[in-house]
Amino acid sequence: MSTLAITVGTGRNRSDIAEAILFSIRTHRPSKVIFLCSQLTKSQTMPIIQQGLTGMAVPYDVVICHNENDVQVLYLEYIEHLRHCRSLMVDFTSGTKAMSAALFAAGIALGAEQVSYVLGPRDATGRVVQSQEVLTFKPDLVLAERQLEKARDLFNQLEFHAAWQLAEAYVKAPPGQTRLVGLAKALYLVGQAYEDWERFDWAKAARTLRKATSPHEGVALASSAMTQIKANITFLQAIAKDAYSSERLYELYANAKRRWEQGRYDDALSRLYRAFEYLIQARLKQWDIDTSKVKLDLLKGKVSESTIRRLCSKADDPLRLGLRDAMELAAELADDVALKLVRTYWRSPWQPGKKMQAKDAGPLQNLLNRRNQSFLAHGTNPVKQEDVKQLLDLYKTILKEALGPKFDDLAQVSRFITL
C-alpha cells in the first residue's frame, strides 16, 4: 500500500497548484494521499483539489501544520504523521520553502521510496503555469551516504556486527558509485573479519581479510590501511598456527582491553581471568605439563614431596589444575613469570608447601576474586570498572616483562584499522 505525502501551497490563483497536485496524484497512482496544508491552503486550495479528486476513489487525509515557515517544527510534525506509512512517496512541488524543505528532509529520514516535484513552463515569477512532467528520483544515494557514515562510526567503535550489517545493503550500489561501493565493501569485509577475530576465530578472520586485500573486490582502503591489514593477517596466521604463541598471549590481553574500552567490563574480566590462566599454561609447557591432565610422575624430583601429596589429594582423575595450583606449581619449578605472579597473588612471602591463609591474599588474588564473585562466574556482584582496569594494568605489566620488546611489536601488527 503506497502513500503519497504532498505539500499544498497557494500558487498564483490556487487552481494552478491544485492542477499540479492532481497531476502528481494521477502520475503516482498512490493507494492513499496525505495533504500537508497550512490554515490558508486548507481553506483556499484544498476545496479545488477535493473537487478534482471526485471519481478517483483515492482515500486521503488532510494535515494542518502549526507554522508553515518553521522548518524544524514542520519536520517534526511531518515525521510524526508519516512515520507509519508504508511505501512512502513525497512530493514537495508546492507550499512554502520551509514546507518543501521539511517534507524532503522527512522523506529522507523515513526512507521514502521516491521523491518528486512537478515540472512545466514557468511564468515571469518562476511558477509552473502548466504541469507537464513529474520528476521523480529515488533518494537511495542520500540514504547510502548517511547509512555508511553511521556504519563507519560503529566500525570505529568496535561494533563490527552492526557495522557490516548496515553496509551489506550497499555493496551492490548503482553503477558509477565506485566510492560508495568501495567503502561499503571495506566495512562489510573488514567488519566481518574483525568480528570473527573478536570471537577468537582467527583462521576465518585471516581468510576474510585476505579477501579484502584482493584487487578484484574493489575495497576502498588507504594504502596505510591496506598495509596494516596485511600485518593483521600475518599476526592472525601466527595465532592460528601455534596454540601457545606470543601472539596468542598478547591477543587475550588486547581483546580484554578492547572490551574494557567499550565498557563491557564483565566480558573484559572473563577474558582477563582466562589470560592469566593461559599465561601459566604456556609457561608450564616448557616442562611438558598440561594443566588439564597432569602426570604426577613428571613432577617427581622437580617439586617437593609436600606438593606431590597435596596434588595427589585432589579428587580429579585425570588431575586438573586451577589457576592458583598451576601458578604455584610453575613458581616451584622456578619459572620467573610465575614467581612474579605469586608475589602479587600473596601479600605475605610465598614458599613451596607453605600453607597460606585468607589474610595473606595479595592484590592479584583480590582482583581475581572479583571475577569469581561476579554474576557471569559464581556470584551476583556487578563488575566495577576500576577493578577491571587494575587487573588489566597488572596483566600488561607481567606480559610486557615476559615478552620483552616483542610486546610493542605485537601491539603494532595487531592494531585494528579505522575507517
Domain containing 23 — which CATH number?
3.40.50.11700
**How much is the average pLDDT of 298-327?**
82
Q: Tell whether 10 and 128 lie within a shared domain.
A: yes
CB of 173 within 8 A of CB of 180?
Answer: yes
- In terms of domains, do 71 and 20 share one? yes
The alpha carbon torsion through 150, 156, 159, 161 (nearest 10 deg) reads 70
Range of the domain at 178: 143-241
| Matching residue, cell 606470543 | 246
Query: 6: closest CA among 260, 84, 16, 23?
Result: 23
The answer to whether residue 157 scores a pLDDT higher than 90 is yes
Question: Quick check: is 9 in a domain?
Answer: yes
Quote helix, strand, coil % in the chain, to nearest 5: 60, 10, 30
How many structural domains is the chain composed of?
3
Same domain, 389 and 404: yes
For residue 202, the number of C-alpha atoms closer than 13 Å in the C-beta half-sphere is 19
Do 256 and 398 share a structural domain? yes
Question: Are 261 and 364 in a shared domain?
Answer: yes
405 and 257 housed in the same domain: yes
Residues 288, 403 within the same domain:
yes
| 115 within domain boundaries | yes
Asked whether residue 104 falls in the same domain as residue 212, the answer is no
Query: Which of 241, 261, 291 represents a domain boundary (last residue)?
Result: 241
| Mean model confidence pLDDT for the chain | 89
Domain end (from 138, 153, 182): 138
Report percent pLDDT > 90 for the chain: 63
Please report which confidence band the pLDDT of residue 173 belongs to, taking 50, 70 and 90 as the band edges: low
pLDDT at 67: 92
pLDDT in tens, 230-253: 999 999 999 999 889 999 999 999
Question: Domain ends where: 192, 225, 241?
Answer: 241
Nearest to 46 by CA among 79, 22, 82: 22
Q: Is the pLDDT of residue 332 over 50?
A: yes
Secondary structure letter of residue 300 according to DSSP: B
The whole-number pLDDT of residue 351 equals 76
Q: What per-residue confidence (pLDDT) applies to 296?
A: 80
pLDDT at residue number 315: 61
User: Is the confidence at residue 109, as pLDDT, over 80?
Assistant: yes
174 with 140: CB under 8 angstroms? yes
419: in domain: no
Tell me which amino acid residue 376 is: L
Given a cut of 80, is residue 28 above it in pLDDT?
yes
Q: What is the pLDDT of residues 258-311, one digit of tens each?
A: 999 999 999 999 999 999 999 999 999 989 999 998 888 878 888 888 888 888
Residue 23 has a pLDDT of 87
Q: What is the pLDDT of residues 121-152, one digit of tens each?
A: 545 554 544 545 667 777 777 788 889 999 99
What residue type is 53 in one-letter code? L
Burial bucket for residue 263 (CB in 10 Å: 0-12, 13-18, 19+): exposed
218-251 exposure pattern, b = at least 16 Cβ within 10 A, e = fewer = ebbbeeebeebbeebbebbebbbeeeebbbbbbb
CB 38 within 8 A of CB 65: yes
The residue type at 33: V
- The region that residue 111 occupies, defined by phi over 0 for left and psi between -120 and 50 for alpha, beta otherwise, is left
* Cβ contact 142:112 at 8 Å: no
Note whether 286 and 402 are same-domain residues.
yes
Mind listing the pLDDT tens digit for each residue in 31-85?
999 999 999 999 999 999 999 998 888 999 999 998 999 999 999 999 999 999 9
Does residue 358 sit within a domain? yes
Q: Please, what is the Cα angle at 34 between 4 and 32, to 5 degrees?
A: 60
What backbone torsions phi and psi does residue 177 show, to the nearest 5 degrees?
Answer: -100, 55
Instruction: Measure CA 224 to chain center.
Output: 22
pLDDT of residue 131: 45
Alpha helices by DSSP H, 262-362: 265-284, 305-312, 323-332, 336-345
Same domain assignment for residues 316 and 406: yes
With respect to residue 418, please indicate whether it lies within any of the assigned structural domains: no
- Tell whether 203 and 271 lie within a shared domain: no
Outline where 157-222 has alpha helix (H). 160-168, 178-198, 202-212
352 domain-assigned: yes
Predicted local distance difference test score (pLDDT) of residue 211: 97
In a domain, 56, yes or no: yes
Are 65 and 165 contained in the same domain? no
pLDDT score for 358: 77
208 found inside a domain = yes
